[in-house]
Amino acid sequence: MTDISLPLTFDPYSLDPEAAALLPRLASADAAVRRIALLALADLEDEALLGPIVAALRTDTSSDVRAQAAELLGAWERADAVTALCEALADRAEDVRDAAAQSLSNLKNPESGPLLAPWTTHDDPFVRQAALRGLRELRYAGALEPALAALSASEDGVRLEAVSVLGWLKSERALGPLTAIAAQDPSAAVRRAAIGALGIGAAATDETIAALLSALRDAAWQVREEAAATLGKLRASGAQGALIAALDDDYWQVRLQAVRALGKLGNANANATASTAVAVLLTHAISNLRKEAALSLGELGDAASLPALHTAATDPDPEVRKAARIALAQIEKAH
């Protein structure tokens, strides 16, 4: 028999017959029986039955059973379940750790934040990374300091999750550190995430815009793509020249985001140089670029682009034709 304790917070005699029949199976010598019993308990969707599942995660001798318990506990956001999942991040079995991390990543209640935050300083990088990932969408104010501290971690994955936490928090205190990460981090994935996080906030400093403009020349095209998108989100008027230059990027994904960003700058920044550069893409081989170019021209509002848009309105691709008609209506209404 496995040495598993089953602390119950209820009177077992008050259970319905189905639940009462399942509890003894959790003490079976057969791990498969115990695992199936956990599944059956979870199917009853009775929060009062959470105790045995938590106990299985903490004490069962089978990693398969512990991993199953960790997966099931993701459906409850109770303090005892969250605490047990945090402890399971340091389990000796990789599948248990992975299951616990996945369940924690699905948390939505900010009240879970204080339970997760202490694990962001654990010795094991996997634990720190998983704890930060769990904090990401909680918008728990107490996660600010742990996330800022984690930006100096040597592990890329830890810094990546810390950046994500800061992006969700939208704190002005994070703006400077995120700007520095966007400009200097050795990992392209972390730089890209920091750039995306900068676009979530409502404001940006001159230093932030400068870092984003520099990122348009980053060696990694994914970073350039994110920089173009973020400059558009921030409606950085001083970025128009750099975004026009990005229309010649070797990667179409960067071009697409640059086109979108120019459109977001709007007709307050429209000029012949911008509209002429964007109009060139109306004949690009990639239909998504043609479509975005048409929509951007509508936002830029330059009447000089009307002839090119009339031609685009006969494009073989229906989405391009639709975008051209929308742009034509915008410009003609404005004039």
Q: What is the rounded CA–CA span in Å between residue 126 and residue 25?
A: 33
Q: What is the pLDDT of residues 82-108, one digit of tens each?
A: 999 999 999 999 999 999 999 999 999
Q: What is the pTM of this model?
A: 0.87
pLDDT band (50, 70, 90) for residue 2:
very low
Q: What is the rounded CA–CA span in Å between residue 213 and residue 228?
A: 8
Domain chopping of the chain, boundaries: 1-106, 266-335
Cβ atoms of 38 and 69 within 8 Å: the answer is yes
pLDDT band (50, 70, 90) for residue 282:
very high
Question: In CATH terms, is domain 1-106 a member of 1.25.10.10?
Answer: yes
Amino acid identity of residue 220, one-letter, is A
pLDDT (mean) for 22-49: 91
The burial class, CB within 10 Å (0-12 / 13-18 / 19+), for 95 is middle
The residue assigned the tokens 């990460």 is: 181
Look at residues 25, 18, 84, 95 and name the one whose alpha carbon lies nearest to residue 57: 84
pLDDT at 12: 55
pLDDT (mean) for 306-332: 97
pLDDT band (50, 70, 90) for residue 265:
confident
Give the 3-state secondary structure of the chain.
CCCCCCCCCCCHHHCCHHHHHHHHHHHCCCHHHHHHHHHHHHHCCCHHHHHHHHHHHHHCCCHHHHHHHHHHHCCCCCHHHHHHHHHHCCCCCHHHHHHHHHHHHCCCCHHHHHHHHHHHHCCCHHHHHHHHHHHCCCCCHHHHHHHHHHCCCCCHHHHHHHHHHHHHHCCHHHHHHHHHHHHHCCCHHHHHHHHHHHCCCCCCCHHHHHHHHHHCCCCCHHHHHHHHHHHHHCCCHHHHHHHHHHCCCCCHHHHHHHHHHHHHHCHHHCCHHHHHHHHHHHHCCCHHHHHHHHHHHHHHCCHHHHHHHHHHCCCCCHHHHHHHHHHHHHHHHHC
Within this chain, domains 1-106 and 266-335 share the same CATH topology: yes
Amino acid identity of residue 134, one-letter, is G
Q: What is the rounded CA–CA span in Å between residue 299 and residue 293?
A: 10
Structure token pair of residue 94: 């990789």
Choosing among 3.20.20.140, 3.10.580.10, 1.25.10.10, 3.20.110.20, the CATH entry for 266-335 is 1.25.10.10
Least confident of 73-82, 146-155, 265-274: 265-274
